[in-house]
Amino acid sequence: MIGVVSYLTFFLTMAGIMAIITLGLNLQWGYTGLFNGGVVAFFGAGAYGTMILGGPAEPGQFGGFGLPYLVALGGGVLLAAALAWVVGLLTLRLRHDYLAISTFGVAVALESLARNSQWLTGGARGMRGFPRPFEAVIESNFLFGVVFLLIVLAVLALVWWGIERLVHSPFGRALRAIREDETAARALGKSPTRLRLWSLVIGAAIMGAGGGLYVSYTAFVSPQDLLPILTFQVWAMLIVGGAGNNRGAVLGAVLIWGAWTLSGFALTRLVPDSMQLDAGSIQYILIGTLIVSMLLWRPEGLLPERISNPRNTTVAKAAHTSNKE
Amino acid sequence: MIQSLLDGILTGAIISLGAIGLTLIMHMLRFANFAYSELLAIGAYAALVFDRLFSTLVPVLDEAFAPLTLTGALALSMVIAMVLTGLSAVVIDWLVFRRIRQKADPLSMVFASFGVALIIRNVIVLIFGHHAQLYSQEIARATILSFDPLILIKPDQVFVLVLALVLMLALHLVLTRTTFGFALRAVAENPALAQVAGVRLTTVIAAVWIIAGSLSAAAGTLYALTNQLNPMIGPVFLLPVFAATIVGGIGSVYGAVLGGFIVGIASGLALLVLPSGYAPAMPFLIILAVLLVRPQGLFGEDQR
């Protein structure tokens, strides 16, 4: 029984971390229309940043400052935000695909940095031994799992609340205005580049927080955590759930993470041993097919975006139709 | 130093071939196609299949043209692979991109291309496995051009460079000397006006996919001929061809050719000072440098 419960807490913790990252992407893509092709880079910056600041010292390696948990986590978040700020500054005034290509490039570059910079990241073997938060107070592993799940859920709620506040503020309306009709927004005196930059940076900071939570949960990070598949997974979560809707983003995260885990189980059981190496490929094909079919048949996702203020509905519809022409 | 330069030029030629199609697609359909470099993989593997088939069925074709390791069977297979890859590019467009283009914005296509890339790459893994394959088991002997400094070059490499240049020249002639070339450039310049003048947009788009697919197939096969072939060829070339496109300026064929050589040579030379593990990051640094100094690229017009 306790095995099932502790697996369930593990599953929900991971799903919760994914949901946090998906909310970050929802701010960028759902509310602002920014294509982030390197979600994993900002997740990774958060994870490695937290690890370097808060992890134990390793001989011959930079880092291991052993800073308090919250400081380390904050540092990871800042690192992710700074990375996004640099990329955004260079690409946001250009046509949209430059951002997609550059964010994708950041992810590739970060992975090769993590793999090769022995002095900074421990190279291919990664970094381990992140001190468990509250180690002094909580001794049992099971209890730690439960407490950490609660922390993740609290962060998720905080991020949710923050984004809701943000998108219903004048800032959020301006974001949607530039997404729907940039020229009109510009005519009203909004600066699209600056608004987009903020959205990119805040979204990346949220992804970085996801990375920081991940590293403090598993106490371990390696270049294997920086593979592009995470980007695909998070995108699938957002598009299945429904871009532009926070409920959708969280629902999608739980559904896709569940489907991913289940298909992993099913494949290890069903596929003969000689083909186990291919099981991963089948999962990748499934997620690729899911992305493409959602875009073809239900691009708005399970829970479509709702324009919350009823007075704005007609305006939004009108803007939408004029945009299509 | 000179050896790195030579290797860079060779890789550059292959990147150029790959980037030509991408720059046309990005300019005309206005989306960054992340599935694009999988066309190199489709082409290289198609050539592998037909190469095995021909050399078994018609042993005469299995003779290599000395001093190359290229056999008649492979030469023939490469041509077939170019046609097939061109067609599959069109089919992928019909199945996915065209349908999304009709109802959604270009960014949905970028996103769909991620999914398409994931599917193609892993179907290839399922069929052919993760391991590296070679077209020919023969050892390609390098010719020593000079002993001090030691400079080696393989006949295959010279062949690859020459063939790449011939293909680019052929495309140049098609673009500048034929009615079809005019139509294509007209659409690139102003799609609405071109349509008014009687150019069929769907035909031109299909033609661009065929050009893109066949040049990529050539690039993939030539790369596999001088190196080895594994399912990661797509992701390995993705950033380099994007970098070449951006360096040259989106929409410029000549820019893409030049950009390909610049990316190839710069990556080759960078390995003189950096450990080879950093190679995948090089194209990204080049992209950053271009965005800082000249965002529209060498010959590009559109940046918004």
For A220-252, what is each residue's pLDDT tens digit? 899 989 998 999 999 999 999 988 889 999 999
pLDDT digits (tens, 9 = 90+) for A167-179: 899 998 898 888 8
Instruction: Tell me: pLDDT of A324 over 50.
Output: no
- As given in the structure block, the two tokens for residue B129 are 């496995």
Q: Identify which of B26, B50, B82 has the alpha carbon closest to the alpha carbon of residue B219.
A: B82
| 3-state SS, residue B67 | coil
Map tokens 């009108």 to a residue.
A318
Q: Mutating which of B28, B95, B114, B294 best tests the A interface, going by the most A Cβ atoms within 10 A?
A: B114
- As given in the structure block, the two tokens for residue A126 are 């990664």
Q: List the domain boundaries for chain A.
A: 2-226
Residue B38 CA: distances (Å) to CA of A280, B85, B121, B161, B222: 19, 10, 7, 22, 15
What is residue A323's predicted lDDT score, i.e. its pLDDT?
A: 46
Q: State how beta strands A220-221 and A127-128 pair.
A: antiparallel
Q: State how beta strands B143-146 and B151-153 pair.
A: antiparallel
What is residue B221's predicted lDDT score, i.e. its pLDDT?
A: 93
CB B278 within 8 A of CB A116: yes
In 10 A of CB A153, how many CB atoms? Answer: 15
pLDDT digits (tens, 9 = 90+) for A2-34: 788 888 999 999 999 999 999 999 999 989 989
Instruction: Tell me: pLDDT of A276 over 90.
Output: no
> What one-letter code names the amino acid at B153?
I
Phi, psi of B295, rounded to the nearest 5 degrees: -60, -30
Strand runs (DSSP E) across chain B, as ranges? 143-146, 151-153
Strand partners for B133: B229
Contact B107 A284 (CB under 8 A): no
Going residue by residue through chain B, which has 304 residues, state the pLDDT in tens, using 9 for 90 and above. 788 888 889 899 999 999 998 998 888 888 889 999 999 999 999 999 999 888 888 777 777 776 777 788 888 999 999 999 999 999 999 999 999 888 877 788 888 999 999 999 999 999 998 888 888 776 666 677 677 677 777 888 888 888 888 988 998 898 889 988 888 888 877 888 888 888 888 888 999 999 999 999 999 999 998 888 989 898 889 999 999 999 998 888 889 999 999 999 998 888 888 887 888 888 999 998 988 888 888 887 654 4
How far apart are the C-alpha atoms of A26 and A203, rounded to whole Å?
8
CB A301 within 8 A of CB A245: yes
What is residue B46's predicted lDDT score, i.e. its pLDDT?
A: 95
In 10 A of CB B138, how many CB atoms? Answer: 11
What band does A308 get if pLDDT is binned at 50, 70 and 90?
low
B2-293 CATH pick, 1.20.1510, 1.10.530, 1.10.357, 1.10.3470: 1.10.3470
Q: Tell me the average pLDDT across A53-69.
A: 80
Query: Which residues in chain A are contacts of B235 at CB distance < 8 A?
Result: 228
> How far is A267 from chain B, CA to nearest CA, in Å?
14
pLDDT digits (tens, 9 = 90+) for A191-200: 888 999 999 9
List % helix, strand, coil for chain A (3-state, nearest 5).
75, 0, 20
CB B142 within 8 A of CB B152: yes
**List of residues 6+ apart from B192 with CB closer than 8 A:** none
CB A205 within 8 A of CB A264: no
How far apart are the C-alpha atoms of A250 and B104, rounded to whole Å?
24
Residue B281 CA: distances (Å) to CA of A98, A111, A116, B3, B240: 17, 9, 11, 21, 10
End-to-end CA distance of chain B: 39
CB A238 within 8 A of CB B111: no
Three-state helix/strand/coil letters over A261-325: HHHHHHHHHHCCHHHHHHHHHHHHHHHHHHHHHHHHHCCCCCCCCCCCCHHHHHHHHHHHHHHHC
Q: Identify which of A174, A169, A211 has the alpha carbon closest to the alpha carbon of residue A193.
A: A174
Strand partners for B229: B133
> What one-letter code names the amino acid at B118?
L
Query: Which residues in chain A are contacts of B111 at CB distance < 8 A?
Result: 35, 235, 239, 291, 295
- As given in the structure block, the two tokens for residue A243 are 């871009």
Q: What does the CA dihedral B56, B58, B60, B64 come to, rounded to 10 degrees?
A: -50
CB A122 within 8 A of CB A61: yes
Residue A281 CA: distances (Å) to CA of A38, A79, A263, B244: 21, 32, 12, 29
What is residue A62's predicted lDDT score, i.e. its pLDDT?
A: 79
Which residue is closest to B279 within chain A, CA to CA? A112
Residue A44 CA: distances (Å) to CA of A2, A21, A109, B17: 32, 11, 11, 33
Q: A46 or A317: whose pLDDT is higher? A: A46
What residues of chain A have any CB closer than 8 angstroms to a CB in chain B? 33, 35, 37, 90-91, 93-98, 100-102, 104-106, 108-109, 111-113, 115-116, 228, 231-232, 235, 239, 277-278, 281-282, 284-285, 287-292, 295-296, 299
CB A37 within 8 A of CB A101: yes
Percentage, residues of chain A above pLDDT 90: 46
Q: Mutating which of B27, B100, B111, B303 best tests the A interface, going by the most A Cβ atoms within 10 A?
A: B111
Map tokens 């009823």 to a residue.
A310
How far apart are the C-alpha atoms of A174 and A145, rounded to whole Å?
40
Torsion sign, CA atoms A50, A55, A57, A61? negative
User: What is the Cα Rg of chain A in Å?
Assistant: 20
Q: A132 or B126: whose pLDDT is higher? A: B126
> What one-letter code names the amino acid at A57?
A
What is residue B188's predicted lDDT score, i.e. its pLDDT?
A: 79
Nearest by CB to residue A105, choosing from B30, B115, B239, is B239
> What one-letter code names the amino acid at A140?
S
